[in-house]
A and B are shown apart, each in its own frame.
Chain A
Amino acid sequence: MFDNFPLWPARASTAAGNVDALFIFLLIVSGLMTLLIFSALIYFAARYRHRRGVPAEQIEGSTPLELTWSVIPFFVFLAIFAWGAVVYFKSRTPPRDSTEVYVVAKQWMWKLEHSEGQREINELHVPVGRDVKLIMTSQDVIHSFYVPAFRMKQDVLPGRYTMAWFRATKAGTYHLFCAEYCGTQHSGMIGSIVVMEPAQFEAWMSGGSTGPLSVTGEKIFAELGCATCHRADTQGRGPNLQGVFGKPVRLEDGRTITADENYIRESILDPGAKVVSGFKPVMPTFQGLVSEEQLNALVAYVKSLSQPGATPTNTAAATQDNSTAAGSQVQ
């Protein structure tokens, strides 16, 4: 009977408990505040209702009282702020060894690709107990990847990557919603997250792969002729990409930035934006020549070059993607 009338959402990720705890704390705090205000209101309203011959007593105010009820709430608010910030910080900082899934949103569907190569549409299979990092972009308008059971939401923007991560804790099928209005079929842009026990997940993973994403990326890298300049030595016209990902890069204009997913993406689409120190801005743009999915594969390939023991022709490393995501804080 209560299937149609739930009062609390399913709790299926490590973040969900943190969010719920803070939410319950806030329910208690605001419940107490409401009780305090409403009981004072009701008491005064009843106790001091108009009686003939009993005039109101004029009271100027009270600075100590004003300070009390400004300062105490302020400190309560600060506590809520700090707790909320901690929960947020955790939910925005993916652990280093996360499994990566690339997400491409478009009106009105979700396209997902595991770094092992499995592709899915409007459905994402993940195992219980593994950190999963989503690297997301949109082909058209802004969307938002929202899984209520994980208490996780992140807008997905065109033209750049945004990140999110979760660690599922309970097997089951959960809603995936688009939470940022995106046009006609916004409410149809839904899907499911299928959380599986690790053994079942391995079985699911063993089928349907076209090879790891980084290998696909390596092929594209060769097809587009990237390797002619980005050589594995110091003689190329472009920087050697070995070990670049996640490391600081000195730019021609003197700034130093971290080579994260967004930097690689930008360097492919808009190579002149942030040129590496010591190189000339000679690279042509690949805007319009590569699809979002191919871009993701290229990014995955460049990342694979930064894994311990990676060589330019290494393909095995990509199956276990241990990229050092030091600089890839989720934004």
Chain B
Amino acid sequence: MSMATTTMQPVERENYLNKEYGALSWLFTTDHKRIALLYLMSITFFFFIGGFFALLIRLELLTPAGDLVQPDTYNKLFTMHGMVMVFFFLIPSIPAVLGNFLVPMMIGAKDLAFPRVNLLSWYLYIIGGLMMLHCMLTGGVDTGWTFYTPFSTAFTNTKIVEAGLAIFVAGFSSILTGLNFVVTIHRMRAPGMTWSRLPLFIWAHYATSIIQILGTPVIAITIVLVAVERTLHLGIFDPKLGGDPLLFQHLFWFYSHPAVYIMILPSMGVVTEIIACFARKRIFGYSFVAFSSIAIAVFGFLVWAHHMFVAGISIYAALVFSLLSYAVAVPSAVKVFNWTATLYKGSIHYDAPMLYAFGFIGLFTVGGLTGLFLAALGIDVHVTDTYFVIAHFHYIMVGGALMGYLGGLHFWWPKISGRLYPESWARLAALIVFLGFNLTFFPQFILGYLGMPRRYFQYPQEFQVLNVLSTAGATVLGVGYLLPMIYFLWSMRYGKPAPDNPWNAAGLEWKTTSPPTTFNFEEEPIVTWEAYNYDELDAPRKEGVPIAR
């Protein structure tokens, strides 16, 4: 009894949040957890900017005529929506927030290998973000987030170079985060934390980091080449200057296809953790799930030209890239099967994070299967550059990546904030997001097969009903995204204090306090158990024996 009263006392234990106060203690922090929160705030800001653009896009598309905004404005809206969401929200989302917070803790380390580099990567992100904001406020860009040449280098008079440089700078933030993770995972695992005992979240982040390190420099170089052609008129991509526009597309997609895996792999890692916890089970086929992440990262680099089947590449190149695209589908399918099998004979709880994980599997399955359509050469000719593609990649990048991100935020929120969020609101939000998402994007598959091209600001009459459905869904989806922000903020002040391990979850991050202290653990943990040892966690409770660890 006396134990209970001491822990319930209002005096908070020292933790990473209350150790120091004041803006400077945040701006100069090298604590990976504080940097994760800096990222959380910054990417949330950009998420709502990108979401606002999406809302305007959907409103314009409510009617066939272009009547809400000017065509140039519309073109800037979808361009800025894409650039902000891809480069300033989705790519940093899970790695920079949850990864930053959890990678050191999950492997039993005090911090990342290079804490100051970690802070530098946030500053680079912020500098890039401010450049992007400045670019938007002073006119924006109208090329689409894909920057296709020669439109971007010789025809548009919008702020290509500035937007490009913003992405260039933010790219280094991504590279540094990846580098930090790889070194940390190699060098800073606690004693006993072998590769085969790593949580699959770590494997997913390891695979992601490889892509970030190897892929991002290519987009950086490509952006420089675009800027060089635009400002100095050196012929690289523009045929009038002796360049080749397809070269740009090859370079762009060499990064931008793997970039999709930067968004989805961490999300898969999150979902794996959640499913194990709420099914109270070890993950079915641990090593297959782990290596499927690596396989996705490797094969992901070999499929880029499937974005170019009608762009003017040779038939034989198209055949090769189509085949390789099917190869990358196998490890993705393996993951879905393993998650499903993990539920078998589990003891399943339906807390909010699990609802998001279910939502993830549902949406990712649809997104993945429609990828099979797009990889089929004959069908791709018809549906590429239509709303079918838009629907497909939103199912992966928003349905998949964002569902995982929200699921992860809910799962680890008690650890991050030390507070509990209101469970029923969280379940409701998960449901709203799932329904709103499907209503927004499922009609777009049909629109795409009917032939509605993407990036159209006005469209023929017969596409209206489906567009209205999509816009209606977007409104629902918007509410679904606003809710968590409201109750998370609410919980920081009014939420119940969270116990150290509210889910009775496996994993080192749950063995420290909520919120953790600055160096995560009182003493360096020694790992003697496999990941997902839910049998051990659940067994003593049943017999009334205190847990040894």
Contacts and interface: CB of A to CB of B under 8 A. Distances in A.
Interface of A: 3-9, 18-19, 22-23, 26, 29-30, 33-34, 37-38, 40-41, 44-45, 48-51, 53-62, 65-66, 69-70, 73-74, 77-78, 80-81, 83-89, 91-92, 107, 140-142, 144, 146, 148-149, 151-155, 157-160, 162, 175, 177-188, 329-331
A172 B456 CA distance: 24
Q: Which of A54, A83, A154, A180 has the most CB of B within 10 A?
A: A180
B492 interface: no
A175 B460 contact: yes
Interface in B326-375: 326-327, 329-330, 333-334, 336-338, 340-341, 343-350, 358, 361-362, 365-366, 369-370, 372-373, 375
Interface stretch (B31-39, B205-213, B445-453, B476-484): B445-453
Given A88-B318, A175-B451, 20 more contacts: A5-B466, A26-B372, A48-B348, A49-B349, A58-B535, A61-B338, A74-B326, A77-B326, A84-B379, A84-B380, A87-B377, A88-B381, A141-B154, A144-B310, A153-B384, A154-B310, A157-B245, A158-B238, A187-B459, A331-B315
B241 to A, nearest CB: 10
Nearest to A61: B285
A81 B322 contact: yes
Contacts of A74: 326-327, 330
Q: Which of B287, B377, B535 has the most CB of A within 10 A?
A: B377
27 contacts: A22-B379, A26-B379, A34-B366, A37-B365, A40-B340, A41-B343, A44-B340, A48-B279, A56-B346, A57-B281, A60-B282, A73-B333, A81-B323, A83-B378, A84-B375, A87-B376, A88-B380, A142-B151, A144-B385, A153-B382, A157-B312, A181-B75, A181-B143, A181-B148, A183-B151, A183-B156, A186-B457
Contacts of B72: 184
B280 interface: yes
Chain B, interface residues (CB within 8 Å), range: 35 or more
Contact of B453 (A77, A80, A178): A178
A183 to B, nearest CB: 6
Closest 4 CB pairs of A and B: A148-B451, A87-B378, A159-B239, A84-B376
A85 B289 CA distance: 30
A182 B151 contact: yes
B453 A69 contact: no
B424 interface: no
Q: Which of A4, A55, A60, A87 has the most CB of B within 10 A?
A: A55
A325 B58 CA distance: 46
A56 B281 contact: yes
A26 B286 CA distance: 30
Contacts of A54: 347
A227 B365 CA distance: 63
B309 interface: yes
A37 B340 contact: yes
Contacts of B144: 181
Contacts of A62: 284-285
Nearest to A87: B378
Contacts of A178: 453
A44 B71 contact: no
Contacts of B69: none
A92 B315 contact: yes
Contact of A4 (B380, B457, B465, B542): B465
Contacts of A84: 322, 375-380
A81 B376 contact: yes
A69 B337 contact: yes
Given A77-B329, A154-B310, A9 B341 contact: no
Interface in B382-408: 382, 384-386
A56 B345 contact: yes
Contacts of A107: 155
Given A61-B284, A107-B155, A183-B151, A23 B465 contact: no
A130 B446 CA distance: 30
Interface of B: 66, 71-72, 75, 142-144, 146, 148, 150-151, 154-156, 238-240, 245-246, 279-282, 284-288, 309-315, 318-319, 322-323, 326-327, 329-330, 333-334, 336-338, 340-341, 343-350, 358, 361-362, 365-366, 369-370, 372-373, 375-382, 384-386, 446, 449-451, 453-462, 464-466, 534-535, 538-539, 542
A40 B288 CA distance: 20
Contacts of A33: 365, 369
Nearest to B386: A179
B44 to A, nearest CB: 29
Contact of A51 (B287, B319, B347, B362): B347
Q: Which of A34, A44, A159, A186 has the most CB of B within 10 A?
A: A186
A45 B151 contact: no
Nearest to B342: A59
B379 A19 contact: yes
A187 B71 contact: yes
A69 B333 contact: yes
A271 B378 CA distance: 36
A144 B249 CA distance: 15
B377 to A, nearest CB: 3
Contacts of A49: 347-350
B547 to A, nearest CB: 15
Contacts of B287: 61
Nearest to B329: A77
A331 B377 contact: no
Contact of B379 (A8, A23, A34): A23
B346 A83 contact: no
B326 A80 contact: yes
Contact of B340 (A41, A89, A141): A41
B282 A59 contact: yes
Given A61-B286, A80-B372, A151 B382 contact: yes
Q: Which of A9, A56, A140, A154 has the most CB of B within 10 A?
A: A56
Contact of B315 (A44, A77, A88, A140): A88
A56 B539 CA distance: 10
Contacts of B458: 187-188
Nearest to A141: B151
A140 B144 CA distance: 17
Given A175-B460, A177-B453, A183-B142, A34 B346 contact: no
B66 A187 contact: yes
B280 A180 contact: no
Q: Which of B330, B333, B459 has the most CB of A within 10 A?
A: B333
A331 B310 CA distance: 8
A22 B284 contact: no
Contacts of A70: 330, 333-334
Contacts of A59: 281-282, 284, 341, 344-345
Contacts of A89: 315
Given A3-B462, A33-B369, A56 B155 contact: no
A7 B313 CA distance: 31
A105 B443 CA distance: 31
B361 A41 contact: yes
Given A59-B284, A144-B310, A181-B455, A153 B344 contact: no
A19 B462 contact: no
B281 A7 contact: no
Contact of B349 (A50, A61, A151, A153): A50
Nearest to A151: B382
B340 A151 contact: no
Contacts of A181: 75, 143-144, 146, 148, 151, 454-455
A3 to B, nearest CB: 6
A88 B378 contact: yes
A57 B284 CA distance: 11
Q: Which of B282, B378, B379 has the most CB of A within 10 A?
A: B378
Contacts of A184: 71-72, 75, 142
Given A153-B385, A184-B71, A185-B71, A5 B314 contact: no
